[in-house]
Amino acid sequence: MDALRPFGLDAAQGPQMPRWLARAARLYATLAVLFLFAYAAGVVLVALSGQTGGEARQVDFAALWGAGRLALASDAVAAFDQVALRAAQSLPADAEEGELFWLYPPGMALILAPFGALPYWAAWLLFGAISISAFWAALSRFAAPVPIGPQILIAAPIVIISLQLGQLGLLWAAGLCLALRALATGNALAAGLIIGALSLKPQLGLLLPVALIALWRWDVLVWACLGAVLVHGLPTLVTGVEYWAAFFDRIGAISASMDGGGTPHRLMISPYAFFRFSGAGHLSAYMLQWILTAMIAACVAYLWSRRPGRANLAVGALMVAMPVATPYAYYYEMVLVVAGAVFLLRGGYGARAGQAILLAAALLGPLVLFVWTEAAPLFAPLLLILAGDAALAAARRTSVASDPSQT
């Protein structure tokens, strides 16, 4: 049996849903898309009216756009200087200071350089269009057989939030799905190179080597290492090695900020953020985070070992667990949970009332983030419970597949 052959590319076992629920999902999706178009039109109208002040710029994409402008001016390393980054964003003097900063390898700066050549509003629109198109292209094939699957992809609240903010999560999730598709079809080269490219945002991929080792896909790991060398090494020839010195200096500053409580834990969804939110100190929260990460990694290793009948559930559990396996994950990283939900539904998860409630909470819960972003740490236990329950469902599926008499 080829590794990941039971991935289930053509086999979906999604639970049946009442007709009224499907209609409600379609109505919600329509309203969500209309809201997004209205929001985009508002950004364009504000920009064309000349009122391109702080209100139009204070979303996360402003930092990406500013870094792209600096890279275009052959000064990518200046993005780590807050003064230079704000100047590149052309923010007015009275604009809110905000928490926008740059923390990406040199390859990301070069990728964003073309966006820096555009006006802010045009760059934001183009980036959003590319992000949602890539997300849809990578996942629509998997979502199509699932009840309300297509609606989940385009209208999940966290997808709308990610598009508003101009964050990279949708592109990262799309790349992960493309890598899994290549892995399932036996294309180790493509899978490895794509995974290597995902190291442009490395903290989300902590569990990928665990999954590949459990599959004994050392060939994919080798290609992934080569891909990482290319995606980081070649841009370094353009930006210079001093970029990495500034990069690691910024990591050190953020680590010190987390230790002192300066990092906005209220916007993170990791267990670390939840423990800090609950009053724990930095060291205690950090130790608890890595204990949970080790437990999650052990579950992933078990789920991704070559056992029949559970590939969709294994993929879904992996994606749900990714944002809580790292201490540094903001709420917009929950777009991975949307992708994970598609695979969980493909694997039949959600047929039980408790499973349906967990999925609904994970998918619709981010609605609260539109008005209360400081609730983000409360999603950490929810995602841990969902990932754990999905792992149990996968284990039950394996036992049934191994012993048909249990059906």
262, pLDDT greater than 90: no
Give how far Cα 121 sits from Cα of 57, 69, 97, 158, Å.
9, 14, 20, 21
Model pTM score? 0.91
pLDDT at 56: 45
Tokens representing 27 are: 């109505």
pLDDT at 99: 63
Quickly state the pLDDT bin for 15 (edges 50, 70, 90).
low
DSSP 273-327: HHHHHTT--HHHHHHHHHHHHHHHHHHHHHHTSS-TT-HHHHHHHHHHHGGGSSS
Domains of the chain: which residue ranges?
Answer: 5-406
The C-alpha R_g of the chain, in whole angstroms, comes to 21
Q: How far apart are CA 186 and CA 209, in angstroms?
A: 17
* Residue 334 and residue 323 in contact, taking contact as beta carbons nearer than 8 Å: yes
- Determine the straight-line distance between the first and last CA of the chain, rounded to whole angstroms: 23
User: How big, in percent rounded to 5, are the helix, strand and coil portions of the chain?
Assistant: 75, 0, 25
Instruction: Write the CB contacts of 335 (distance below 8 Å, at least 6 apart in sequence).
Output: 135, 156, 158, 159, 162, 169, 170, 172, 173
* Residue 136 and residue 64 in contact, taking contact as beta carbons nearer than 8 Å: no
Q: How far apart are CA 380 and CA 289, in angstroms?
A: 11
Q: What is the pLDDT of residues 30-84, one digit of tens each?
A: 888 888 888 888 877 877 776 554 444 567 898 999 999 999 999 999 999 988 9
